[in-house]
Structure 1
Amino acid sequence: MKTLKRDYVHVTPLPDVATVLELLAGWFEDYNVHHPHSGLKMRSPREFIAAQTATA
């Protein structure tokens, strides 16, 4: 949650709840598909899972 707030919520104008709800799905998609994670060796969760699946 801290990363979501820092990288998405705090840098986006959010005038109302409807705006947040519209943006939320896109934020999660970006976080899981594109956002690098230091704990995953700077890969996104999808990249990390794909690499694990390919080697298994």
Structure 2
Amino acid sequence: IDLLFTPVRSPQSNGMSEAFVKTLKRDYASTVILPDAGTFLALLPGWIDDYCEVHPHSGLKFRSPREFLRLSA
């Protein structure tokens, strides 16, 4: 694992964080019934895994982040 740091409150890190939260809300949280925070927290790891492994990203030529990294190596 390589640790990479983006400066706190930088436009780059803020934009990436906001885009992730927007996608999480739009493509995952809005598609299921979430009666409480526990349900959300139980589903979150699976959503993050799907986002990284399966979900296509336009900036990565419609590949998932992990697929993009595998093909780049």
Is 2:34 the counterpart of 1:24?
A: no
Is 2:60 the counterpart of 1:40?
A: yes
Gaps of 5+ in 1: none
State the TM-score, normalized to the length of structure 1: 0.90
Gaps of 5+ in 2: 1-20
RMSD over aligned Cα, in angstroms?
Answer: 0.6
Question: Which ranges of 4 or more aligned residues in structure 1 deviate by more than 3 Å?
Answer: none
Higher relative contact order (CA 8 A, sep 6+): 1
Identity %: 58
Provide the aligned length of Structure 1 versus Structure 2: 53
State the TM-score, normalized to the length of structure 2: 0.70
